[in-house]
Amino acid sequence: MHEKLREHAGGEEVVRIAYIFAQISQMNKARSSFVLLCLACASMRYGLAGAQTSECAQEARSEGGASSGAGVWRKSCTQGHLGHPPKPPRGFPLIDETSEPASTYSTNEPPQTWETSATADWMRFVPDDTPLLKMSIPGTHDSGARVGGIAFVAQAWSISEQLEAGVRYLDIRTRRTRGQGVHALAIHHSFVFQDLWFNDVMDSVVAFLRMHPAEVVIMRLKGDEDTAEEGSKSYAEIWPDYMAVYAAYFAKVTSPLPTLGALRGKVYVLDDNADFSFGGAKWTSAYYRIQDNYEVYAYFNDYSDGIKVSLPTKREQVRQYLDIASDPQNRQWVFNHLSGSAGMAPRDVAGAGAYDGTNAAAYYHVPYSGKQSLGTVIMDFPGEQLVYRIVKSNFQAPEACGAKTFRVESAHSWAEFRLPVGVETQTTEIPAGAYNNYVFPTCNRVSWTDLTFVCKQSDWQRTQGTWDSDGLCTGSVPASPWVAVGDR
């Protein structure tokens, strides 16, 4: 174990402290907590700080190989950053994501630069006293699931890429393993080992938080995703080894409804383990409202158990929970899973056609019109447009378009389309209609087709529809807050 701690901490001093800890623990267990604190501080000093600008990857595996699930500690330091990061903008950069080369569903490509440059530090623009339940937070389901074939792969982006793209909720699922005398936590999706270990995940998270200290990573941490390997230790025996290295990066917050400021620079755990506590808040908290009907079947009828659902029903559940989260009266933290499998592959549930997948259903249900809470939206294969729109919903755009009126007249009638104050990219739609004022011996009508106005470059612009006046007598005025009519 001392060799493995040296491998992670990178300093002989850490090993010496570990040895002293073991000796004192045998002689006087009352002092062990003090020495454990020293060990954690030393590991921070020699390991995490020392890895800031270095790239390293050291592996030690059992002869069974990765696929056997025989876990070992594996150090895989993430890419360091040389020099100083670019100067951040004064406020969150509001972009019209519809004009960018991306979609609501990701491919195997890394996330687009336009999106990562906007979202890597997005939480720094949110006030400290903001409750997480009132935020719009992008998340991923089975965040480490990238191998195993179409039935098991749930993500195209690595953990690091997800974080850079703005994802702040990770779903990490572990299995207890053993190999070469070292007991560790492997990352699994069901029984499929993801060629990833818990320390790999933490190395990526820690590297990200070091470069973006105002951010928070919410981590649902699940135990026993698959049956533990025979002979492996318990979580109570394995977890302290990880804490000896990473404890400084876990928030000491157990409230189920924390504020952002209490967590900055830390991992906030949602504990999803029955027999051992990872710390943080319990995933089963009554303060949470979770939609996770994950058994999704194409277009068959829903099952009576309420768990197995058709894809159309799943899409409707996604929309319903977005509405619940955005309700100003809501007092629960909403976790809305767009993900699904069983009857369909995860990628088909997420992106089955331009408008058929759950990702697109969520995106088109929440057009950006300023700040609103969407809850924590948990996705498979999230695309840049969807992630960015969720993040953008945390911010109120400055006024971009003033109120503006368009008018059409006939000899004895008129109609006005009175557009409100708007923000950049906001859309206002008006249904087709007509208004007539009969003055003997003729009708005097104004009419219009379906109209669409978009706030662009600080001005309302008509992008669809026409209006006119004529002598017809038909038509009616639609129920719209943006239409006024009268006589001349």
For the ranges 129-133, 165-169, 299-303, the lowest mean pLDDT is seen at 299-303
Specify the number of domains making up the chain. Answer: 2
Angle at 57 between CA 66 and CA 227, to 5 degrees: 30
Residue 51 maps to a domain: no
Q: How large is the average pLDDT for residues 294-308?
A: 74
Torsion angle of alpha carbons 232, 238, 241, 245, nearest 10°?
Answer: 110
CATH number at residue 290: 3.20.20.190
Residue 86 maps to a domain: no
Q: Are residues 449 and 311 in the same domain?
A: no
CB count in 10 Å sphere of residue 217: 27
Structural contact between residues 26 and 17, judged by C-beta atoms closer than 8 angstroms: no
**Residue 444: domain span:** 404-487
Q: How large is the average pLDDT for residues 113-129?
A: 95
Residue 70 C-alpha from the chain's centroid: 31
Q: Are residues 264 and 151 in the same domain?
A: yes
Q: Which of 365, 392, 419 is the last residue of a domain?
A: 392
Give me the chain's average pLDDT, please: 82
What is the rounded CA–CA span in Å between residue 153 and residue 170? 15
What is the rounded CA–CA span in Å between residue 260 and residue 213? 12
Residue 89 maps to a domain: no
- Say which DSSP state 172 is in: E
Place of tokens 């669809």: 464
Strand partners, 142: none
The packing angle between helices 235-246 and 32-43, to 10°, is 50
For the ranges 46-50, 126-130, 171-175, 271-275, the lowest mean pLDDT is seen at 46-50
Residue 45 maps to a domain: no
Q: Are residues 387 and 410 in the same domain?
A: no
Q: Are residues 327 and 351 in the same domain?
A: yes
What is the rounded CA–CA span in Å between residue 297 and residue 311? 6
What's this model's pTM, rounded to 2 decimal places? 0.69
- Altogether, the residues listed in the chain come to a count of 488
Q: Are residues 159 and 202 in the same domain?
A: yes
User: What would the pLDDT profile of 23-54 be if each residue is shown by its tens digit?
Assistant: 434 444 434 444 344 444 444 433 333 333 33
User: What would the pLDDT profile of 355-412 be if each residue is shown by its tens digit?
Assistant: 589 999 999 999 887 899 999 999 999 999 999 999 999 998 777 788 899 999 999 9
Residue 56 maps to a domain: no
Q: Are residues 366 and 412 in the same domain?
A: no
Q: Are residues 280 and 326 in the same domain?
A: yes
Q: What is the pLDDT of residue 180?
A: 54
Residue 34 maps to a domain: no
Q: Are residues 409 and 385 in the same domain?
A: no
Q: Are residues 410 and 385 in the same domain?
A: no
Q: Are residues 456 and 327 in the same domain?
A: no
Q: Are residues 348 and 409 in the same domain?
A: no
